[in-house]
Amino acid sequence: MKQEIQEKDFLIAKKKKETSPLHTTIEKMKQEIQEKDFLIAKKKKETSPLHTTIEKMKQEIQEKDFLIAKKMKETSELTETLKDNTEEMKNKDAKISADGLELISLKEKLAEKEIANYRIPTLNFLDDAMYTPPVDVIMMSFGKYNKLDEDWYSRAFYTHTNGYKMCLCIRYDDKKKSSNLHAHLMVGDYDDNLQWPFRGTLMTEILHRKTRTFHYLAEIVFDDDKFCGRIWNGVPIEAGMASSIVGEGISFAEAVQEPFTEYLEDNSIVIRVKSVNVESLVRISAVISPPPNDKKMVFEITGFSHHKKSNSECI
């Protein structure tokens, strides 16, 4: 037993001797591990603020991501709202356009209605008002004036507001057995402010009694100084002083190309001065001439040419 114990002690001593370097190595490694743990702890301590900053940055990034997502959602909603509003605006624009067209149509219809309801004044000597074209002129007792060979003068009218004063005259030509329609310049209230000689064109129509419509009659053109000067004295008529006009004119049949009876009713005719286009307001500078010294002087127009239709037409 003792020998066995000795042998075992020997073996143990031998093993200790053999493992001694290992223990030394292990101790050395433990020491190194401790040193590394110390370094790691030191690094952790040094990097701890960085970790805190990193965590804070992560939190800020998360918050910003949340805000970005929220803004993107709001932007998407606003985009959809904008699309809806754009579509609504398009619809409203279309409605406004349609309403505008409807308004224009209503205005046109209203204008047509006003035109349809507008009553063109008929000149008569019982009405003191002064009218501008369009105006209607009724000549009664047409045959009577033809038989008596008398000139018939209409009520006066003005070419436009504060314009030239005029009247119509119907004169019978016994030689040609025809009646002539003349337009006379008259002494007006605004002559001092107007430009002379007068230049303009009267558009006249005549009423067809069967159809109750007005047909074109003639254009009476003032384009010759001999016909267009300012009136100082002339032919006294009920409506004032008018120029004395001489001219042959053309036959009524040539003017209307229909039987005269188509325009007669109860021995009367209706002539319409549809419009007066005044050119002298812009074409010619104002010329104010003094009245003639000879009180007996009569303003008379000669050298009439019916081809030029200068201020006279035959009816």
Position 254: which residue type? E
Q: What percent of the chain has pLDDT over 90?
A: 16
Share the mean pLDDT of the chain.
78
Global pTM reads: 0.54
pLDDT in tens, 102-138: 888 888 877 776 655 567 887 777 777 889 999 999 8
pLDDT in tens, 192-203: 999 999 999 989
Q: Which CATH class is domain 122-314?
A: mainly beta
Cβ proximity of 157 and 176 under 8 Å = no
Give the model's pLDDT for residue 239. Answer: 64
User: What six digits make up the tokens of 145?
Assistant: 């004036």
pLDDT in tens, 75-84: 989 988 888 8
Give the model's pLDDT for residue 162. Answer: 94
Q: How far apart are CA 116 and CA 110, in angstroms?
A: 9
CA nearest to 74, candidates 61, 62, 66, 87:
66
More confident residue, 311 or 281: 281
pLDDT in tens, 242-270: 665 544 444 555 566 667 788 888 888 89
* 301-305: average pLDDT: 33
Residue 212, CA distances (Å) to 93, 209, 215, 253, 269 in order: 46, 5, 10, 19, 12
More confident residue, 285 or 10: 10
The domain locations on the chain are 1-118, 122-314
More confident residue, 60 or 128: 60
Give the model's pLDDT for residue 132. Answer: 92
Give the model's pLDDT for residue 238. Answer: 66
Q: Is the peptide bond before 121 cis (omega within 30 degrees of 0)?
A: no
pLDDT in tens, 23-48: 788 888 888 888 888 888 888 788 77
Which of 65-79, 133-147, 213-227, 278-292 is predicted least confidently?
Answer: 278-292
User: What six digits make up the tokens of 58?
Assistant: 């992560």
259 C-beta neighbours (distance < 10 Å), count: 10
pLDDT in tens, 85-104: 888 888 888 888 888 888 88
More confident residue, 116 or 314: 116
Residue 156, CA distances (Å) to 90, 111, 130 in order: 58, 28, 7
Q: How far apart are CA 182 and CA 191, in angstroms?
A: 21
| Local confidence band at 283 (pLDDT 50, 70, 90 cut-offs) | very low
Give the model's pLDDT for residue 182. Answer: 84
Which of 70-74, 111-115, 121-125, 273-277 is predicted least confidently?
Answer: 111-115
Q: How far apart are CA 232 and CA 295, in angstroms?
A: 9
Give the model's pLDDT for residue 302. Answer: 33
pLDDT in tens, 236-246: 776 677 665 54
3-state secondary structure the chain: CHHHHHHHHHHHHHHHHHHHHHHHHHHHHHHHHHHHHHHHHHHHHHHHHHHHHHHHHHHHHHHHHHHHHHHHHHHHHHHHHHHHHHHHHHHHHHHHHHHHHHHHHHHHHHHHHHHHHCCCCEECCCCCCCCCCCEEEEECCHHHHHHHCCCEECCCEECCCCCCEEEEEEEEECCCCEEEEEEEEECCCCHHHCCCCCCEEEEEEEEECCCCEEEEEEEEEECCHHHHCCCCCCEEECCEEECEECCCCCCHHHHHCCCHHHHCECCEEEEEEEEEEECHHHHCCCCCCCCCCCCCCCCEECCCCCCCCECEEEC
Give the model's pLDDT for residue 255. Answer: 63
